Structure 1
C-alpha cells in the first residue's frame, strides 16, 4: 500500500494553451484541485516553491487555504528552500497552517536547488556565516526550524509585558503538536539523505539527484533510500520514517492523453550538469497505455522502497484534466501494482 499524492510546480504564463494565465489562476486552481483530488481518493496535495519565477512561491497562505477547504488530504511542500527563510517566523506560519488543517501538514524543506537568479537568498537579507557555503546555511537554518518545533521555551520573558506570561522561558506560538514528525528533507545526494536520517526527518527524493554511480536513476534512488533507512535505524529513532519519491506518470487512456504525452514513452533517464562541476541524473517520465505502464513501473526499485508516491502534474492544463490524470492512475494502475 502506498500513499499517492500530486506535486504541482504551479506554473503560469500568458500562453494560448494554458489554463493558468495568471498567478491568481494558479492559486485558485491549486485549491480547487486539492478539493477534487480529495474527493477521488488522492492522499496528498503538495506544492513546489520557487522564487523569482512565475510559479508558486510563498506556500503558507495556499496551504492554509487548502487546509480550510479540505478535511482528509495531506497538504505539503516539495520543497521549501531554507536559504530564503527566517526559521522562527516559519515555525509560526507552519504551526498556524497545521492547526487550520487539523494536523495534516507534511512539510518538505531542503537546502534548495539552483534558482532563477544568482544567490537569490541575498535579496531576502540572508548570507552564509563565515566559513559556510550556501548549502551549509540551508541545512543550518533547516535545523533551527526543526528544533524550534519542539515547543520548548527559549525566549526570556519581559518583566513588564503587555499581557501576563506563563512561568519560564517562552516558546513560539501557535504550537502544533506532532508537526515535528511530519517534516521531510529533500535530499539530492546519498550524503544528505543519511544526514536527514540522523536528524530524524522524513525523506523526500525527487526526480533528480547527484549522479553517484553508473546505475539507472531509479536504482541510484533506491540505493539512496536504503542508505537513509539504514542510517535511521543506526540513529536509534523509535518511530518509522516516511519516504516519498516523485514521478511523472501518465496513463494513456484516450486521444487527448496520447496527444499530450505519447512522445514521453520514448524518453529515458538524462544526465546533465545542474550546477557547475556537479553531474546530476534526471529520472525518466512514464507514459503508456495502462498495461505497459504497469509493467514499467513494477521495475522501478525506488518506488518499491518508498511509502509515498508524488505524481508531478501538468498544472497548466487545468483542474479538470489533472483530475483525469490522477484518476487514471488510481483506477487503472495503482490496484494492479498493489498500491491500492
Structure 2
C-alpha cells in the first residue's frame, strides 16, 4: 500500500559533548535543514514534537513558518501541540499565518497532551480548568473553539468606529487560510478519543504510546483504534476523506556507523506500564535491524498497513547529515521492498 512518509523530530538538545545539537538555536536551525534534506530525498513530511519546559522544540509556529519558506513541496506538521497550553484565537492566527507562508502545506497534530516536565504547566501559561472541568476537558474545549474559528465564519461584532474600514458583517480571525480546518489531526491516546476526533471531523494521529485497553500488542490495539475512528468519521458529513498516521522508530542497519549507534539498543518487544497514577499504557517496540529482517517484521505491523501516513522518529541529536542518511536508507531498503512508494 502506498504511504506518505514523514520524519518526526522531538528536537532534543543538550550541551553534552556527545550531542551534535548543543542549544535551542541548534535544534531549530537543524530542524529547518533536516526538512530541506528530507524534501530533497523525496520524503513527504517534516513533523515536529512540541514539549514545554523541556530542552526540546517548544513554540512550533516560527519553525513551521521557516520550514515553509525554505521548502516547496513537503508537508509540514506537528505531532503534537498540547491544547491545554493554547489560546484558541491565537492558535488560529498563528497556524493560519504559518500555513499561508507554506502555501497550504501544514498538517497540524494537536492533542490533550502528554505527561509534563512540571506540575500543571499550563497554569504558568495562564490557563486553568473551569469548575468541574479536568485539564483534558479544557484541552478539548480549546480545540472545539479553535476548530470553529478555523472555518473562517465571522463571529465578532465589529466596532462602529474602527481604526480601519471593516468588511460587512461579523468579523473573523485574520489571516484566514482556506483548507487548514481539514488539515487538523488529533493525537488520540485511546479508542474513545479517536472516535471523538472522528465525530468532530479531524484526521487521526496515533503514536507509539497508547492507553492499554486490551493487553494486546500495540499494533493490534492501534488497528482497532483506527477502525473505530473511521467508522465514527463516516457517520458524519465532514466533506472530506480523513487521513490516519502512525509513528514508529525504524532504524535500518546498513553501515558500521549504524551498528555502532544502534545494534546493541534494539527493543524488540512492546512494553506495558503506568504513565501516571491512573493510566496503564503500551509503548511500541523499536524496529532496529538489517533491512531483510526489518522488511519481514514491518510487514506484520497491521497498524502501519491500515494507516496512509507513517511518521518515523529520528535521533535528531546525531545531526542533520546522519539523519538524512537514515531517511535515505529507509526509502531504499525498507519503503521500496514493502511497496510503500
Q: Fold-level match, TM-score > 0.5? A: yes
TM-score, normalization by structure 2: 0.99
The alignment status of 1:326 with 2:313, answered yes or no, reads no
TM-superposition CA deviations, 1:107-146 (whole Å, max 9, x none): 0000101110000000000001111100000011011111
Cα separation, 2, equivalents of 1:74 and 1:262 = 31
Answer yes or no: is the 8 Å Cα contact 1:264–1:286 preserved in 2: no
1:92/1:174 contact within 8 Å kept: yes
User: How far apart are the structure 1 equivalents of 2:90 and 2:62?
Assistant: 14
Q: Aligned residue for 1:80?
A: 81
SS in 1 for 2:245: strand
The 1-side partners of 2:56 and 2:234 are apart by 37
Per-residue CA shift, 1:60-105, capped at 9, x if unaligned? 0000000000000000100000000101011010010000000000
The aligned counterpart of 1:262 is 263
**Distance in 2 between the 1:231 and 1:264 partners?**
39
Q: After superposing the two structures, state which structure 1 stretch, 227-236 or 120-129, moved more.
A: 227-236
- Uncovered stretches (5+) of structure 1, i.e. residues with no partner: none
* 1:158 matched residue in structure 2: 159
Query: TM-score by structure 1 length?
Result: 0.99
Change (3 A) 1:238 1:163: closer
Contact 2:34 2:324 in 1 (8 A): yes
Matched, 1:131 2:155: no
| 1:266 CA displacement | 4.6
> RMSD value over aligned CA atoms?
0.8
Which residue number in structure 2 is paired with residue 209 of structure 1?
Answer: 210
Q: Do structure 1's residue 172 and structure 2's residue 173 form an aligned pair? A: yes
Equivalent residues, number: 340
The residue aligned with 1:27 is: 28
1:90 paired residue number:
91
Deviation at 1:258, TM superposition (A): 1.1
- Partners of 1:67 and 1:101 within 8 A in 2: yes
Task: Structure 2: state its 5+ residue gaps.
Answer: none
Q: Is residue 2:228 matched to residue 1:234?
A: no
2:287, 2:312 → 1: CA distance? 11
SS in 2 for 1:159: coil
Q: Whole-Å Cα distance in 2 between the matches of residues 275 and 133 of structure 1?
A: 15
Question: Residue 212 of structure 1: CA displacement?
Answer: 0.3
